[in-house]
Amino acid sequence: MVQQSNDPHAGQKVDIRSTGLKILIVDDENMNRKILSRRLAKDGHTPFTAKNGQEGVDLFERETPDLIIMDIMMPVMDGYEATRIIKERAGESFVPIIALTSLEDEKALAGCIEAGADDFLSKPVTPTILNAKIDSLMRIRALYNAVSEQRNERDREMEFAEKIYSQIIYQGNMDESNVNYWTSPMAIFSGDILLIARSPSGPINVIMGDFTGHGLSAAMGAIPASEIFYAMTARGHSINEIAMELNRKLKQLLPSNIFLAAGIVQMDSDKGTATIWSGAVPDIFILGKEGGVKKRLKSRNLPLGVVDNDTLGSTIEVVALAQGDRLCVFSDGVTEAVRADGEMFEEERLEECLNRHRGSRLLEGVKTAVDKFCGGQSQTDDVTMVEITCDSKAARPMAVQATEISEKSTPLDWGMVVDLSPNRLRDSDPLPMIMQILMQDDALVQHKENLFLIMSELFTNSLDHGVLRMDGSLKQTMEGMIQYLTEREKALATIETGNIRMEIKHTTHGDERVFVVRVDDSGPGFDHMAKGACLSETCSMGGRGLQLVRSLCKEVIFHGSGNKVEATYVIT
């Protein structure tokens, strides 16, 4: 890549030379032109001469001189006019012009500077002063060039960075029909983020976040935050999971003085519920279809990226909504907008304003009210507001989403076997590890609860009854259940013999993905045909597990003496 050096000192070395310059002399007096030319040529410069302003402008265009010495009083076009034209045509580049005046005429001198001349010389011109002026103007030109090169460089980098930033931040769909928003960042890079994406099962996830500070440093955190939000939304993770992962990552990445205040909302228009995680943002408002505040939700959590996940103790709220109800999230740029006397807009004024605006242009109403309140005070923080309507017509059908998902992922056939010896059974629990591996497959994430339940039931059944030989009938009563658990704990701690083998196979048949779990244990098996199980209230404490597995799976088959079981779960 060929590029001008962006080291300002390197640039100065080249430009500060005061010899070998192309210098244009504009003077109507032949004698003056001759004397000046000879002197400049002797000093190693290349002089050009023009008889009047018009000729001067023409020569400037043709020769692009480094410096111009301009007489003022000339026929055809005077020095003022020529200076104005040349300065205008020079545009961004700096062409120093020295005006020639007589010292007595102060008015003419001021006029020269006003027309755009950079310095002046009084006649008669002495060589020492002339050289000093040329040197000084060349230094100014070097500085000017260095600054403008740096500015261009910064502009190019900003433009490039902004392109990348926008691609990362706005990869979701900002055009959901039931989401309105309004943002006014203070700079290209904003400390506020607003991300909108649809989760695979239909609901819309929205995060309105506000990083501490604004500008570039605040925008840095927006990149990992948006990556996490979009990836986890696409995989169908819950709002709580997204909040926890954001917190974990931001805590790890950001210095302790930068964190993210955020309102994360999942709007499930079909079910008529909104799930909300809010940390350190102004109150979230819920408005009825016809307007008017129905509910105000206080922020329940610490901002993201301050404390560890364990300390965060994240709280979410679920709110039931009627069709047409609207949920509004505002950044503190709204509530903390300040007017001349230092008074802030505050949530009370916001609520009042929301109650007053009954029409559809709610956010515009809020913006107008804030502007009016501030009365011309300039904006001091990024402002973001979002309005999400509970509108089942805006929700896309679930079936479409499901096929999109399976098209996106590349289904492969795979399998795994986990052999568990007594030591492993005693000291570790294989299920979290297996689940972690399974969750690498995006298409399985939506089925995680079911897959866990199936594997947990089959594994626990093998462990408790096959390996530990526990008596399941104990579980009939509450006292028995407690006894059962105590005995189980003891048996597990002293286990010496017995093995469990878990085999997981994943195959695809067209659109169908088949997930087979096989669990073999070293135990004697049981009479699976006789085992009755029910799910009603009158049912005992135990026996429910197998029934649940049966209702989730396409098929559950026992082999051998009942010590081998195979469950087939189908994902369409």
CB closer to other proteins, 184 vs 240: 240
CB closer to other proteins, 215 vs 542: 542
Q: Quote the least distance from Cβ 243 to other proteins, whole Å.
A: 10
CB closer to other proteins, 70 vs 467: 467
CB-side neighbour CA atoms (13 Å) of 546: 18
Question: What is the helix (H) or strand (E) element at residue 388, kind and residue range?
Answer: strand 383-389
Q: Quote the least distance from Cβ 386 to other proteins, whole Å.
A: 23
Q: Does 435 bind other proteins (CB under 8 A)?
A: yes
Question: What is the helix (H) or strand (E) element at residue 337, kind and residue range?
Answer: none
Nearest one of 467, 460, 390 to 423, comparing CA atoms: 467
Query: Is 275 strand, coil or helix?
Result: strand
Q: Quote the least distance from Cβ 458 to other proteins, whole Å.
A: 10
Strands 119-122 and 97-101: parallel
Instruction: Establish whether the linkage from the previous residue to 124 is cis, with ω within 30° of 0.
Output: yes
Q: Where are the alpha helices (DSSP H) in 428-513?
A: 430-438, 442-445, 448-461, 478-493
Q: Does 178 bind other proteins (CB under 8 A)?
A: no
Strand order in the sheet with 512-521: 414-420, 500-509, 512-521, 564-571, 555-559
Site string for other proteins, 438-477 (x = CB under 8 A): --------xxxxx-xx--xx--x--------------x--
Question: What is the helix (H) or strand (E) element at residue 258, kind and residue range?
Answer: none
How many residues in the chain? 572
CB closer to other proteins, 52 vs 266: 266
Place of tokens 């604004």: 214
Rounded CA separation 317/315 (Å) = 7
Stretches 190-198, 285-293, 314-322, 338-346: which one binds other proteins (CB under 8 A)?
314-322
Site string for other proteins, 523-552 (x = CB under 8 A): ------------xxx---xx-xx--x--xx
CB closer to other proteins, 150 vs 456: 456
CB closer to other proteins, 171 vs 240: 240
Q: Does 378 bind other proteins (CB under 8 A)?
A: no
Total residues interacting with other proteins, rule: CB under 8 A: 40
Site string for other proteins, 204-243 (x = CB under 8 A): ----------------------------------x-xx--
CB closer to other proteins, 422 vs 545: 545
The secondary structure of 310-332, three-state, reads: HHHCCCCEEEECCCCCEEEEECH
- The residues pairing with 268 across neighbouring beta strands, listed in sequence order, are 273
Question: What is the helix (H) or strand (E) element at residue 416, kind and residue range?
Answer: strand 414-420
Q: Does 20 bind other proteins (CB under 8 A)?
A: no
Q: Does 426 bind other proteins (CB under 8 A)?
A: no
Q: Quote the least distance from Cβ 320 to other proteins, whole Å.
A: 9
Rounded CA separation 490/484 (Å) = 10
Binding site for other proteins (CB under 8 A): 201, 238, 240-241, 310, 313-316, 318, 429, 431-432, 435, 446-450, 452-453, 456-457, 460, 475, 478, 481-482, 485, 488, 535-537, 541-542, 544-545, 548, 551-552
